[in-house]
């Protein structure tokens, strides 16, 4: 059993944070599923922009689409949706073996709808119908409007990956939207047993922001806190997950067969080269969680990872670290809002570049 298989045996799922036609056509994704226990795939506009730029497998389809499809966005979707469908098909046995709790592939709603709940709902329903795979998760950003859309989509039975979360408060708000959506679905007499959702909490970008603030403060109290904020945040978010989904708030829905919303650790590759390359992996191994890893981080885990259940270790220390950040004037919720706004902008820029690549 290698390190990746060990993690899955401990109760954490590993999803690949990458998707391209090359990964599908050359057998890489199939091999990762079979040999490393990879049980899901996430995508985003940046991933597809890179795929369209680097993979040779799109050229023939793009030439055909240029001749018959005048709309750039529809050309883009005609290129990437078959990749999502193929990944869904490869992961369908995992999905079925897990009883529908794993084996998902994520596809993001166009970032320009991040602040429009009505359009997000419509686009999510359209993409879900177009992909037509039961192990699809439609990605919706965790903006206030995105949460409103998420609640509505949960109510009608669309499974969602809520993305671009950067704080405990944002994550808890997502949990609340899921509870409300499921409760409304149950009141309408609909089956909640097949509803699934995940909440993707981004990590490395949090440390990048907080580290810069700590460096600017520059005191003996501030500097040792660098590189700790994101893991501390994730540990406390997991505690809120346990409180909510293994507590009274979810009890009535659980009796009807509903499944908790899963926490996903996203942005798990380190940005600071001085940090251990598994900083956002090893300390956050925990049951009922997912870590979505880019290829390089997955390879590092396979090569020298030492997995153990650590997510519930050092919770008091994590609380103390975040309290000290607050004492120093670092507002994690305000920072999370800023990072979310920036994240929407970065994905929109990547999405527009992806559209340009189809022209």
d(CA 324, CA 318): 10
Total count of residues recorded for the chain: 359
Domains and CATH numbers, the chain: 3-356 (3.20.20.70)
Q: What is the mean pLDDT of each run of 10 residues along the chain (359 residues)?
A: 94 98 97 97 95 93 92 94 98 97 97 97 98 98 98 98 98 98 97 97 98 98 98 98 97 97 97 96 98 97 97 98 98 98 96 93
Q: Which residues are catalytic?
A: 139
d(CA 155, CA 147): 12
Beta bridge partners of 12: 289
What's the pLDDT score for residue 1? Answer: 81
Q: Which string of DSSP letters, residue by residue, matches 214-251?
A: HHHH--TTTGGGTTTHHHHHHHHHHHHHHHHHTSHHHH
Q: Which long-range contacts (CB under 8 A, 24 or more apart) does 211-214 make?
A: 211/272, 213/330, 213/335, 214/328, 214/330
What is each CA distance from 295 to 38, 86, 208, 220, in whole angstroms?
11, 19, 21, 37
């Amino acid at each position: 059993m290698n390190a990746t298989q060990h993690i899955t045996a401990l109760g954490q799922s590993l999803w690949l944070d990458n998707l391209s036609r090359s990964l599908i056509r050359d057998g890489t994704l199939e091999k990762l599923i079979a040999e490393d226990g990879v049980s899901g795939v996430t995508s985003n506009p940046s991933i597809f922009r890179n795929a369209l730029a680097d993979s040779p497998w799109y050229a023939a389809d793009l030439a055909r689409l240029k001749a018959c499809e005048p709309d750039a966005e529809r050309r883009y979707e005609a290129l990437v949706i078959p990749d999502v469908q193929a990944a869904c098909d490869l992961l369908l046995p995992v999905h079925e073996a897990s009883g529908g709790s794993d084996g998902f592939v994520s596809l993001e709603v166009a970032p320009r709808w991040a602040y429009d709940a009505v359009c997000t709902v419509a686009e999510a329903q359209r993409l879900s119908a177009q992909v037509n795979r039961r192990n699809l998760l439609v990605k919706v950003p965790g903006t206030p409007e995105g949460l409103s859309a998420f609640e509505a989509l949960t109510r009608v039975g669309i499974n969602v990956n809520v993305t671009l979360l950067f704080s405990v408060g944002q994550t808890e708000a997502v949990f609340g939207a899921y509870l409300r959506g499921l409760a409304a679905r149950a009141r309408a007499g609909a089956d909640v047993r097949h509803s699934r959702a995940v909440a993707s909490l981004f990590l490395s970008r949090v440390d990048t922001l907080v580290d810069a603030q700590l460096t600017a403060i520059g005191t003996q109290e501030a500097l040792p806190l660098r590189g700790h904020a994101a893991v501390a945040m994730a540990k406390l978010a997991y505690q809120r997950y346990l409180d909510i989904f293994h507590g009274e708030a979810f009890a009535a829905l659980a009796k009807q067969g509903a499944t908790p919303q899963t926490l996903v650790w996203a942005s798990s590759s380190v940005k600071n080269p001085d940090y251990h390359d598994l900083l956002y992996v090893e300390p956050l191994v925990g049951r009922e969680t997912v870590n979505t890893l880019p290829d390089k981080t997955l390879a590092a885990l396979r090569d020298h990872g030492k997995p153990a259940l650590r997510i519930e270790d050092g919770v008091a220390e994590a609380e103390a670290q975040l309290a000290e950040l607050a004492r120093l004037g670092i507002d994690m919720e305000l920072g999370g809002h800023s990072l979310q706004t920036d994240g929407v902008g970065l994905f929109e820029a990547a999405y527009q570049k992806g559209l340009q690549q189809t022209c």
